[in-house]
Amino acid sequence: MGFGLLYIIVTVYNHSIHFCFCFQLRHHSLFLSRIFHNMDQLHFFFFPMMAQGHMIPTLDMAKLFASRGVKVTIITTPLNEPIFCKAIQRNKHLGIEIDIRLIKFPAVENDLPEDCERLDLASDDKLPNFFRAAAMMKESLEQLIEECRPNCLVSDMFLPWTTHSAAKFNIPRIVFHGTSYFAQCVGASIRLNKPFKNVSSDSETFVVPNLPHQIKLTRTQLSPNEQSDEELGMSKMIKAVRESDSKSYGAVFNSFNELEPDYVEHYTKVFGIKSWAIGPLSLCNRDIEDKVERGNKSSIDKHECLKWLDSKKPSSIVYVCFGSVIYFTAAQMQELAMGLEASGQDFIWVFRTNNEDWMPEGFEERTRGKGLIIRGWAPQVLILDHESVGAFVTHCGWNSILEGVSAGVPFVTWPVFAEQFFNEKTVTDVMRTGAGVGSMQWRRSGSEGVKSEAIAKAIKRVMVSEEADGFRSRAKAYKEMARQAIEEGGSSYTGLTTLLQDISSYSSTAH
């Protein structure tokens, strides 16, 4: 069968002797980790916020922990179960077992539509209702903790009440922010120093103080919560998040030390919170099916997609995608279409829309062969990993940034809201692997204001200008660092080892 040499391992584990007959397998570290864990196997609960951008990296994280011999249980709601099930089934043949436990989401009780079990399905005015409904899951979560007695709870930043639930059962809660050390450090400096108060207009730039790099922003690029002294609405939620962070056992990051070394160190000094960088999490998806079916079912057949990509030259395609929650006005979509066409580059453009009245007349006919439009959900990791992709036009969501970094692709940055303007600075000012379209206005929905000329200019700058080779070479270097980080002995592999050791020590002294 080609298994190689049979050998015997004798090990002392928790004062008992184990004799193991093992083959030299390609996946030997996974194989051995499955053998060595016994009745003292760690059990982790993973509880993501119910939103695509939070559930997908949490699933990747759960698979990563399970591959290292940890018993894993994902907590979610009934309508979100399908997002996890297919991936979990596919990983069973690798010996990776992941359980799912469901908690009812009280949507109707909080004046939400009955099927509104995802944050990205809630309208802006209903966000407080959604968070209130999530908090009402507390009792159900505690019943599960009491029943299963996990060693640790890894929960989303937007579930701050879980810190109390974990403490009630004397288990550590680790917070998952789903963003970068850099964004956390920038946000903390802005809250503490309020540098935006020192400028005379919304468009005047200010320097964010006390950071390892000179980072400049404008007031228009900050959320209302970051500029407000009041504790209302989301500001109240963000305050609860910060307070629960400080009471948590630590924080886990979808990042790696080599990506932002200055900010890993800065975060530790400023926050004083234990943290572990264990990313890029998307790199746990090595199988084509895993890459295709992350999140929703893809709207395009993978063979059709790969055939189109294979027909193009290396680094010749611009991939354009703005995630699952960005909504542009019709006028902005039209500007984007015109900018893509004016850039002269081949492209894949992913968008979700029921109404395409905004599309310039004849656009699809004129770009046929040069452009591939995907309406709905795209296999993003599969596309980015293809050699024909030369740039990624992105809203700068952290998952997308990490997926682009892992693929070694330069960026055209177009932030819209959340911490995306901070993430843009990571790309343009720290990594220097991309250029911006000049997006200046933080807006939760209905974003607009970026002209087609600026879009075309940024795309050409990253793809074909004198700077393009520099962007590309730096992006390739980060790709190599990312892949080394997750291999045995790499910084993220070691980070996860340390995390598991820390929780094991905590559990042994807590009982």
Active site positions, annotated = 54, 156
Q: How many CB atoms lie within 10 A of CB 89?
A: 10
CB neighbour list of residue 504: distance below 8 Å, 6 or more residues apart: 42, 151
SS3 label, residue 409: coil
d(CA 324, CA 398): 13
Tokens of 244: 């629960």
Give a three-class secondary structure readout of 161-200: CHHHHHHHCCCCEEEECCCCHHHHHHHHHHHHHCHHHHCC
Residue 412: φ, ψ to 5°: -110, 115
Residue 466 φ/ψ, nearest 5 degrees = -65, -25
Query: Is 81 within 8 Å of 55 (Cβ atoms)?
Result: no
* CA 266 from centre of chain: 21
**Pairing relationship of beta strands 98-102 and 71-76 according to DSSP bridges:** parallel
Please calculate the CA angle 435-441-442 and round it to the nearest 5 degrees.
Answer: 105
Q: How far are the Cα atoms of 20, 296, 387, 408, 413 from residue 257, in angstroms, in the given order?
A: 35, 30, 26, 17, 23
Say if CB 371 and CB 346 are below 8 A apart: yes
Q: Are 266 and 230 contacting, i.e. CB atoms less than 8 angstroms apart?
A: no
Residue bearing tokens 């093992």: 22
Edge-to-edge strand order for the sheet containing 152-156?
Answer: 98-102, 71-76, 43-47, 152-156, 173-176, 250-253, 275-277
Q: Cβ neighbours of residue 146 under 8 Å, at least 6 residues apart? A: 169
